[in-house]
Homo-oligomer: A and B are copies of this chain.
Amino acid sequence: MHERKIPLNLNCGLDLIGEVLYGKWKIRLLWFIYEGYKRPSDLQRKIPDASRRVLNAQLKELEQHELISKVIYPVVPPKVEYSLTDFGMTLMPVISALGQWGDENEERLRNVILKQIE
């Protein structure tokens, strides 16, 4: 993967959840899988800004973290389906809360973010 040189911080719950959710597309991947977009190509189409390479990598990490599971059908062309594990499912209310706060404050957030970039 990439041998870490700076140790992880795993002190509290916030560190731990950060570790599994940190990644540019992970939260969206979880959410789309939750919504029923199961195949990698579906997810790629839902997130066209992401490179295929990184989506694969992040899906693999989500799987290693036991938030999603993967079924490979032995057909050609290949077919793969992801779904949330029970564990991953318990995260949905939390992600929902994040998205809801973002939606509720959309305008203000858009303002302060764009002002800071300019």
Interface residues of A (CB under 8 A from B): 4, 8-10, 12-20, 27-28, 31, 49, 61, 64-66, 87, 90-91, 93-95, 97-106, 108-110, 112-113, 115-117
CA–CA, A16 to B104, complex, Å? 11
Q: When the two chains form their complex, are residues B99 and A87 in contact, meaning their CB atoms are under 8 A apart? A: no
CB distance from A37 to the nearest CB of B (A): 15
Partner of A17, one of B17, B49, B98: B98
Most B Cβ at <10 Å: residue of A12, A14, A31, A64: A14
Given the known interface contacts A10-B110, A49-B9, A97-B94, the answer about A61 and B18 at a Cβ–Cβ threshold of 8 Å is: no
Inter-chain contact B12/A113, CB cutoff 8 Å: no
- Closest beta carbon of chain B to A35's beta carbon, Å: 12
Can you pick out 28 interface pairs between chain A and chain B where the beta carbons lie within 8 Å of each other?
A8-B113, A9-B49, A10-B110, A12-B99, A13-B99, A13-B100, A14-B27, A14-B31, A14-B95, A16-B109, A17-B109, A19-B109, A20-B109, A20-B113, A61-B116, A64-B112, A64-B116, A65-B109, A65-B112, A66-B112, A87-B108, A90-B101, A90-B105, A91-B101, A93-B97, A94-B97, A94-B98, A98-B98
